[in-house]
Amino acid sequence: MWSGIDVSRFQGQIDWEQVTADFAIIRAGFGTGTLDAQFERNITECNRLGIPCGVYWFSYALSPQAAAEEARRCLEAVRPYRLEYPVCFDYEYDSVLYARRNGVEVTRRLATDLVKAFCGTVQELGYYAMYYANADFLQNIFYPAELTEYDLWYARYREGETPGRENVGIWQYSDTGRMPGIIGNVDLNRGYRDYPAIIRRAGLNRLE
């Protein structure tokens, strides 16, 4: 098992030389192509210091076609960098609210198809795909039985317990964690798979 963090601009300017995590999942961006304000610095520092990292993209997609375009924009952003962890699709309550404000009701069929479109595009372009969800999304928003080919990044904030689900590649177990080099709270994760080895063996993420 590996200990990790996930970060975005909300953690400010991180002193990566002080970070003790085994891996990091970095927000690359959101929506149709907006990069996170700290993305380039965060991933450059991880690459410089040899901290294995992956990325996530916060989705505002209203259709599978838009989700696929988000995936392409995400991969354009990460192409210059070393990525040893998955590319994750992050669809949350704000994503659903955004859709409703734009006249789109998010059914389980649509939400599941968004995951498939993003993750399928990631796979087609040679990267390792993953999706993010909590128990509510798995029970009420997605059809998880249709998503078993993708690893799950599971959010369940109960320190000291197991995630309690199958197919969990990474468990986000706290959103109030602390980490040297980061001022304030940061999400803490446990990784259950040796992603650098898995991804390298599969010939994905442009790893040599």
Domain spans of the chain, in order of start: 2-202
What is the per-residue pLDDT across 172-181, written as a single tens digit (0 to 9) for each?
999 999 999 9
What is the per-residue pLDDT across 42-83, written as a single tens digit (0 to 9) for each?
999 999 999 999 999 999 999 999 999 999 999 999 999 999
pLDDT at 167: 79
Q: Is 111 left (phi over 0), alpha (psi -120 to 50) or beta?
A: alpha
Is 2-202 in CATH node 3.20.20.80? yes
Positions in the chain short of pLDDT 50: none
Burial of 37 (C-beta count, 10 Å sphere; 0-12/13-18/19+): middle
pTM of the model: 0.95
